[in-house]
Structure 1
Amino acid sequence: MKKLGLIVNPIAGMGGRVGLKGTDGVVKRALELGALPRAPQRAKKALEVLKEISNEIEIVTYSGDMGEREAKECGFKTKIITAVENEFTTSQDTINAARKMLEERVDLILFAGGDGTARDIYNAVKEEMVVLGIPAGVKIHSPVYAQSPLRAGKLAKQYLQGKVKLIKEVEVLDIDERAYRNGNVKTRLYGYLNIPFEKRYVQNRKAGTPLSEKAAQNAISLDIIDNMIEDTLYIIGPGSTTRPIMQNLNLPYTLLGVDLIYNKQIVGLDVTEKELLKHISDKPSKLIITPIGGQGYLFGRGNQQISPEVIKQVGKDNIIVIATKEKISNLQGKPFLVDTGDIKIDEMLNGYIRVITGYKEQMIYPIKT
């Protein structure tokens, strides 16, 4: 029988929809703003796939929301290695859990969280174990994560069955969340973890924006501005590709937040999911987003304020994707990805979408859930 270590960081991703761009150090604030746990549900989606081989697996996990509840609800044989004593779990809880699993010599550590969680796993086990992340955080730059909870479950299943043999050493990346909330991205390499590798299941690391793209981004912004419709709300997603739109309109902006424009004037800066839903309830709306460089995600990474309900109300036909030709080229033919947390919304987005790549230049590009 295989031993599967399961670690769930129950507070991971809670800051996303309420506009906090992360959860490190702001759990109480996120709860005050109405944030709900995200990681437990995403962990269960991965475990649902593994239920097909539940008679071949024993799950080794922590108590309560750090894995016990999710494993038992999915019907797995479960071994609890210790209990969590704090009201809110901490990074030390994750480190302790991973170290215990190292002692237990589990075959694979499957963990749900974000880049901070991956960093904690690294601090605990370094390169001594094989691990795999279920994406549940706000910002996920590290390639230790699968593309979605479903793909995490599929890859874990195939690895435990011996169908995936390749183990790859990948980067553990994280950013300074305080600087991130102020619009500055400071990414640091912490080390490396070993993951079971199957290209179709794991995500790439996030790529930076080269200076050569600035002119192309500016051309895209001018196309957007020239075609703005009066009395229509424009939701401007985060990223350096959308920033020139605000700059050319001489408007304030939040580089890593979601801003709102109406008749070329700011009506909301760094808005939350709740504020977005209020604004779009009585106005025709369009959503402008750009894929994450190197990964290709349109939704589910760094823009959780644009929730499934927001996407549903705006509608796929009113989503405007912008990306330079270089950003598209760097995807090497791989489709855009979506991981909203709502299967029906992901399926709605599946297919093809128009992408603005320059001034009066467009292309059609695939989306795959």
Structure 2
Amino acid sequence: MKQTEAQWQSTLRFAVGVTAAFVLCEFLKWLPSFLAAALVAALLGNLPIRPPAKVAIGLLVTISVSALGAFLLSVWFRGMPFVMFGLLAVWMLLAFHKMLGGGSPLPPLLMLICLATIPVITLTAPAYADVLPIALVRGMVVALAIIYLVWLPWPAVQPPKPKPLPPPRETSTLRLALLATAVILPLMLVFLLFGLADVLPVMIASLMIVANFDPRAGGRQALALIVANFGGGMCGMLLYIALSTTPSLWFLAGLLFFATLAFGARISAGGPTAPVYVIACNAMLIIFGSSLGDSAGSFSLWVTRVFQFTVAGTFAVGMMELAWHPPVRLLPLRAGRSSGSSPGKT
């Protein structure tokens, strides 16, 4: 399929922006290095135009307030976990309801990322409690700056795409928000109970999957989300293996540019598969960046990380799909009708 000029410029914005954010954070040793790149991918994948100053300031304020609020909530109620998780559940429910109720999904998504990751890090690794909030705000500043820069050489805007069909009447935003909250909270509890500090990659991937779940799409979309999550993670592993042959910043930039160029072409084309490719690209960035940030990057560690990634994503999709589309229970036939005839008939 031949790309238009606007689609090609959108693809270049995506590839150059994501690569620049990743390489910059890796060069400056800002961990996690994938965070700013993942934010660039999410913003460029959801904003059809260059974000106005009002939108940029709103996103920066949202992530700053959410990061500070999640941090304070974790510190103040560390000794009262039931109260803390109760407040987190209410906050998450409101954020999911806002996201699913229409409007831009980016501010609620940023809020959810803070709520789902900062409390677990604060409780499992108190010495690094202030590191993640700072990294999230810094990543947003870097992402917004790079997005404004990539719009300068490639300013073409794609024509507006047709709006999706409105949800059917039986689709309840509150029900879907309750379900999404009930999926994310158990994942947080698992990380907390087992003392797993690498919550950020898995929770971001799970949140992206839950946020893009469409109850009208059925099992095909659910399977596509799982495959995209796993396939993106495998692409991240392959990039890390390729980089190990020539460990240099320029080679890293080249690998990442061509990989994101392929994803950007699919995302800029739009359509129902665009969110799936955004999830796959984020999975690639998360696995690749977390592998680079771990000095003990053995093959078993990569497999473990991708396994956690895939299990969490499968759990999120499976729970959403089963709760929204429960299997039909077949009722047993009556004894008088099981033989195919009725009394009094020949």
More strand by share: 1
> Do they fold alike, i.e. is TM over 0.5?
no
Q: TM-score of the superposition, structure 1-length normalised?
A: 0.24
Higher relative contact order (CA 8 A, sep 6+): 2
More helix by share: 2
Q: TM-score of the superposition, structure 2-length normalised?
A: 0.25
